[in-house]
Structure 1
Amino acid sequence: MIKADHQAFLQQIKSDYREILINYFTTDKNLQEKIDKFINAVFCANIPVPQIIEIHMELIDEFSKQLKLEGRSDETLLDYRLTLIDILAHLCELYRRSLPK
């Protein structure tokens, strides 16, 4: 993938993950489908796990700054570690299933 395409792809991945984070604790009936789509895209593009963690941390930092600007506590953002754990668990399961037996 050329550098411009790679950057555009990473921006799309970040945008998709932002949507997952925002909707994670809601009753969005399409959330699991969005997670599966995200996981498949990350898996097919061979995005390393540390990069996914980096994207998560960047987004949580952005959310934290916004909450502080609004004068609100950012303690609730700690719950979003569950999102990261869920995403990584799905990714691990996809890797496990892809191994030849």
Structure 2
Amino acid sequence: MTRADKQALLQQLKSDYRQILINYFTTDKTLKEKIDKFINAVFCANIPVPQIIEIHMDLIEEFSKQLKLEGRSDESLLDYRLTLIDVLAHLCEAYRSSIYK
């Protein structure tokens, strides 16, 4: 994978993860599919876990800045750690499943 391809993939993953974060605490019926698609892309591209955590932290920082600009508290963003835990658990399951195939 070329450097440009990897950058494009990382941007797409960040965009996909942003949608997961935005919809995580809603009643979005397609959220599980979005998470599965994200995990499949991460797994197939062999993206390391620290990079997923970096994507998460970057997005949370962007959301925090936006909330502060709006004069709102960013305290609720702490709940989005659950999203990261959920995504990493799905990724662990993908790795576990691949070992036993």
TM-score category (smaller protein): over 0.9
Instruction: Count how many residue pairs are aligned between Structure 1 and Structure 2.
Output: 101
Which stretches of structure 1, 4 residues or more, deviate above 2 A after TM superposition?
A: none
Task: Indicate the SS of the match to 1:11.
Answer: helix
- Root-mean-square deviation (Å): 0.8
Matches within 5 A, 1:1-101: 1-100=1-100
TM-score by length of 1: 0.98
**Identity, % of aligned pairs?**
84
Q: CA deviation at 1:55?
A: 0.3
Give the Cα–Cα distance (whole angstroms) in 2 for the partners of residues 94 and 77 of structure 1: 27
Deviation digits for residues 35-84 of structure 1 (CA, Å, limit 9, x no counterpart): 00000000000000000000000000000000000000000000000000
Query: Structure 2: which 5+ residue stretches go unaligned?
Result: none
TM-score by length of 2: 0.98
**AA matched with 1:45:** A
Query: Structure 1: which 5+ residue stretches go unaligned?
Result: none
